[in-house]
Amino acid sequence: MKKRILCFGDSNTYGYIARGNGRRYGENIRWPSRLAKMLGGDYTVIEEGLPGRTTDTALSQEPWKNGLSVLKSVLSSHRPVDMMILMLGTNDLKASFHREAEPVDTGIRTIIDDTKSFMLEKQNYSPVILLIAPAPLSDAAMSADVMDFDEHSVAVSRQLGSSFRRTAEEKNILFLDAADYVKVSETDGIHLDADNHVLLANAIYTVLCDWFSGHSETDPNHARFIEE
């Protein structure tokens, strides 16, 4: 049976084009689609990116953008889920929320814990989780139309990498800091351009190949995940 990888994220998982009037990149560009092609026919990569999605908060008029509130329905609808690639946090930093890194990290921790416990109940095992710290905002985000980011947002975005890394270590999950590989487009200071979608797909593929090769044999999920 094909192994199923759920990509749970926001507009940079959806493939939103900076200042593209809501359009998204095609399957040859956006990173989940490219990852699927790189992994090959033994894997099904599920794209669950939603522009504006947060970890665990939302504006009252947009409750569907609260990632935690829809997590269990998403997980259940896509069962079985063998791996989840989680990349959220950018939208938590909108000026409307004025969040620090700590509550964003708390939201990520809750998503990780709920994913493990819920899927253990529903499918008798928890998925492998790869946590990705999103690429920091650039100063251009402060002038992007209707995106609601300010100087505080940009500053805190630069703290998420170290914060999420500590969480990944404590939770014993895989981690990738997108800032090591990609940068947001200066078109709006928020979204990845086509070239950076390619770079992110390559980085994720390398992390997964390294894990598949047996470097994580101490992980109880490893043998199950790679078995034929």
What local confidence, expressed as pLDDT, does residue 147 receive? 78
What local confidence, expressed as pLDDT, does residue 60 receive? 86
Residues 6+ apart with CB under 8 A from 174: 128, 129, 130, 131, 168, 207, 211, 216
Structurally, what CATH architecture does the domain formed by 3-226 represent?
Answer: 3-Layer(aba) Sandwich (3.40)
Apex 37 CA angle, 219 and 173, nearest 5: 20
Q: How far apart (Å, rounded) are the C-alpha atoms in residues 128 and 221? A: 7
Phi-psi region of 89 (alpha: psi -120 to 50; beta: other; left: phi over 0): left
| Other beta carbons within 10 Å of 27 | 13
pLDDT in tens, 143-168: 866 679 999 999 999 999 999 999 99
* CA-CA-CA-CA torsion sign (183, 132, 71, 214): positive
CA distances, 223 to each of 16, 33, 86, 123 (Å): 36, 25, 22, 17
Domain limits, the chain: 3-226
Q: How far apart (Å, rounded) are the C-alpha atoms in residues 204 and 12? A: 14
pLDDT in tens, 50-69: 999 999 999 889 999 999 99
pLDDT in tens, 11-64: 999 999 998 888 999 999 999 999 999 999 999 999 999 999 999 999 889 999
